[in-house]
Amino acid sequence: MTTTATILIRPEGQVADEWTSVATAADLSLVEGPAIVPFDAIDAALAERRNAPLGVHLPNHVAPDAVEPYLTQVALVSVAFPAFSDGRGFSLAKRIRRAGFTGRLRATGPLIADQFADALACGFDEVALPEAVATRQPAEQWVEARSIVRDHYQSGYEGGASILEQRRAAAAAKAEGSHA
C-alpha cells in the first residue's frame, strides 16, 4: 500500500487524491478505484484487466522507449523525483508528452514550490508531495510561487506563448495596423 502520506497539488491548489499506490500487481485486489503500480509490475497489472483506471510509477532513469508501449494503456503516469535537485524527471515528462501521452502526468517526490511552474511547463499536471514537505510548503505557497515569474523565453513548453512568440505577434499586429 502507500508507503508515505502525500498531498496532491494542482494549479488550482490542494486536491483530494483518488489514486492509491500499490507495491505489486497482487496488491491491486486490496484496493478499489484507480491504482498506481510500479513500472516493474505494469505487465502483471495490465493482465489483471481491472475495471478501475490504472496508473504506472516510473523511476526517472527509465528509457523512454521502454515506456512508450504502455502510454496508451494507462490513465496516469507518475514520475519519481528522488530529490528536488534531480532534474531528470523534467526531461522524462517532456519525452512522455512528446510520445503522445494525454492522460494525467504526475511528479511524485519532495519537489519544492519554486519548481511548480517548471513542472507544469514540462507537461506535468500535478505534484504528489510528501506530507513533511507540504507541512512547510503548503499548497498556497505553490500557487503563489508558480505565478511570480509571469513569462518565459522558451518556445515549445506549456504555459502559453513564449516571450519570443509574443514579440513576433506584437510585431505582426503592428505591421497589420500600419497597413490599415
Partner 1 sequence: MYRYDEFDERFVRDRVRQFRSQVERRLDGSLSDDEFKPLRLKNGLYLQLHAYMLRVAVPYGTLDSRQLRQLALIAEKYDKGYAHFTTRQNLQYNWPKLKDVPDILDLLADVEMHAIQTSGNCIRNVTSDQFAGVAKDEVEDPRVTAELIRQWSSLHPEFVWLPRKFKIAVTGAGHDRAAIKVHDIGIRILRHPETNEVGYEIVVGGGLGRTPMIGKVVRSFLPKAELLAYLEAILRVYNAEGRRDNKFKARVKILVHETGEEEFRARVEAEYAKLNGPTVNAPEGEVERIAAYFAPPAYETLPERSEALEAARASDPALDRFVEQNGFAHKVPGYIALTVSLKGIGEVPGDMTDAQMRAFADIAERYSMDELRVTHSQNLVLPHVKLDEVAEVYAALKANGLATANAGLITDIIACPGLDYCALATAKSIPIAQAISKTFADDDRQREIGELPIKISGCINACGHHHVGAIGILGLEKSGVENYQITVGGDASENAALGERVGPGIDADQVPGAVEALVSVYLRERQGSERFVDTVRRAGLDPFKAGFQAFVSGAGQEAAE
Minimum CB separation of residue 75 from partner 1 in Å reads 24
100 is a site residue for partner 1 (CB under 8 A): no
Minimum CB separation of residue 87 from partner 1 in Å reads 3
Calpha distance 168→170 (Å, rounded)? 5
Cβ nearer to partner 1, comparing 136 with 179? 136
Please name which of 141, 124, 136 lies closest in space to residue 58, comparing C-alpha atoms: 124
Size of the site for partner 1 (CB under 8 A): 43
Q: Which residue has the cell 483518488?
A: 18
What residues contact residue 102 under an 8 Å CB cut-off, 6+ apart? none
Within 10 A of 97 (CB to CB), how many other CB atoms are there? 18
- What the block records as the C-alpha cell of 111 is 519537489
Cβ nearer to partner 1, comparing 2 with 4? 4
Q: Are strands 13-15 and 6-10 parallel, antiparallel or unpaired?
A: antiparallel
128 is a site residue for partner 1 (CB under 8 A): no
- What the block records as the C-alpha cell of 108 is 511524485
Q: Name which position in 24, 66, 154, 173 contacts partner 1 (CB under 8 A).
A: 154
Q: Name which position in 121, 127, 128, 139 contacts partner 1 (CB under 8 A).
A: 121
**For 99-118, b where at least 16 C-beta lie within 10 A, e where not — what string?**
eebebbbbbbbbbbbebbbb
Q: Name which of residues 73 to 92 contact partner 1 (CB under 8 A).
A: 84-88, 90-92
What residues contact residue 166 under an 8 Å CB cut-off, 6+ apart? 151
4 is a site residue for partner 1 (CB under 8 A): no
Minimum CB separation of residue 12 from partner 1 in Å reads 20
Give the range of 16-24, 34-42, 67-75, 110-118 binding partner 1 by CB under 8 A: 110-118
Return residues touching partner 1 (CB under 8 A): 61, 84-88, 90-92, 94-95, 98, 112-115, 117-118, 121-122, 136-137, 141, 144-145, 148-157, 159, 163-168, 171
